[in-house]
Structure formats: C-alpha cells, structure tokens
C-alpha cells in the first residue's frame, strides 16, 4: 500500500485590530449568501448577481479555493467576534494592473471594517506581490465606497466608466480611482 502525500494549499492570513482576512472556506457559504443576497450589497458590485443564493456562494468559494494566489486573491473578511462580514479581492486588470473589489454586508456598514480590510489588503499587495499600483472603482451613486477608497489612500483619476452590475442588470457610471504605493 502506497501512502499518498497531500500538500495543503496555504493562503495568506492578514490580521488587523478587529479583522482577519483569509482565504474563503466552504463554511463561509451560508453567511456569504445571506450577506451578499441583499440587493443593497449585490447592487453595489459588478460581479454579484441578485438573487445571490447559497449555491452561488458555494460556487464562489470553490472558485476562490482554486485560485493561483500569485495572480489573483480573494479574502474572506472575518470579524473576530461576528464572523464573516464581507469579501475583498484583487484580480488582474487591463495594462497589467491589479484591481481591487470589496463588499461588506449591510449589518456591518459604517463601522470602518471596509477601510480596515482594504488597508490590510493593500499592505499585503505591496509587500507580497510587490505591486505599487492598484486600481478600483465605485458606482457614482455609492459615495460611501468612494469614502472607503479615499481613506485607504486611493485618488480619483477623473475617469468615469460604464460597468455592468449583474445585480442591477445594467451598466452603471463608475468613478475610477488609483492607489500608488
């Protein structure tokens, strides 16, 4: 009988005062579907459909677990007391840039969690990926996301793009921003 050696996949874990950012796991799907299933959350993202079901969440977690963390990253944002509160990710974008995406569940809005998570993520991108430029955008009708990005050090580029929101089923004016390390 031959023993099969299994090498576990290791994802980064980032810790802040109140949050832990880690790779998503199967156990996150229920909370993810509950939080991202809110049209007020999904409707402020490009990627999330509405409704966002537990099956959608399970597929999203499975995709995240297969990522090559040298190219793309998806972090579950876990509050030390409340559990999963949102997601944060970095993906390849045009011109070799990295693009940030983030959402926080509505029960956790206006508590600074998004800013705290984005700052931690950017520190990781600079240190581990050695990237000095990250792009992001927020829908023009969502100035709160713009505030989060500004607090994390992003600057407006002056560009406005039309980006599809799957949840809304339409393209939405998106104010583009850039972060420079």
pLDDT at 9 (0 to 100): 58
Give residue-wise pLDDT tens across range 130-175. Answer: 999 999 999 999 999 999 999 999 999 999 999 999 999 999 999 9
Q: Looking at residue 123, which CATH number applies to its domain?
A: 3.40.630.30
Q: Average pLDDT of 72-81?
A: 97
Q: Is residue 34 part of a domain?
A: yes
Q: Which residue has the tokens 């931690």?
A: 120
Give residue-wise pLDDT tens across range 81-119. Answer: 999 999 999 999 989 899 999 999 999 999 999 999 999
Average pLDDT in the chain = 94
pTM above 0.75, yes or no: yes
Q: Which residue has the tokens 């921003």?
A: 177
Domain residues for the domain of 42 are 14-180
The yes-or-no verdict on residue 69 having pLDDT over 90 is yes
**pLDDT range class, residue 11, cuts 50, 70, 90:** confident
H-helix or E-strand spanning residue 41 = helix 39-42
Q: Is residue 2 part of a domain?
A: no
Q: Is residue 51 part of a domain?
A: yes
Task: Give the chain's domain count.
Answer: 1
H-helix or E-strand spanning residue 162 = strand 155-165
Q: Is residue 3 part of a domain?
A: no
Q: Is residue 42 part of a domain?
A: yes
């Amino acid at each position: 009988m031959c023993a099969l050696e299994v090498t576990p996949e290791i994802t980064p874990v980032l810790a802040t005062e109140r949050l832990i950012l880690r790779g998503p796991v199967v156990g996150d799907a229920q909370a993810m579907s509950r939080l991202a299933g809110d049209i007020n959350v999904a409707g402020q993202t490009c990627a999330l459909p509405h409704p966002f079901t537990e099956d959608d969440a399970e597929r999203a977690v499975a995709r995240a677990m297969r990522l090559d963390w040298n190219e793309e990253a998806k972090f579950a944002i876990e509050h030390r007391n409340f559990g999963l509160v949102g997601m944060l990710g970095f993906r390849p974008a045009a011109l070799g840039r990295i693009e940030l995406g983030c959402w926080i569940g509505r029960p956790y809005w206006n508590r600074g969690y998004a800013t705290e998570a984005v700052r931690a993520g950017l520190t990781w991108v600079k240190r581990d990926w050695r990237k000095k430029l990250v792009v992001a955008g927020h829908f023009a009708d969502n100035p709160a996301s713009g505030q989060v990005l500004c607090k994390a050090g992003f600057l407006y580029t002056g560009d406005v793009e039309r980006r599809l929101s799957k949840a809304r089923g339409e393209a939405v004016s998106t104010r583009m921003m850039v972060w420079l390390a």
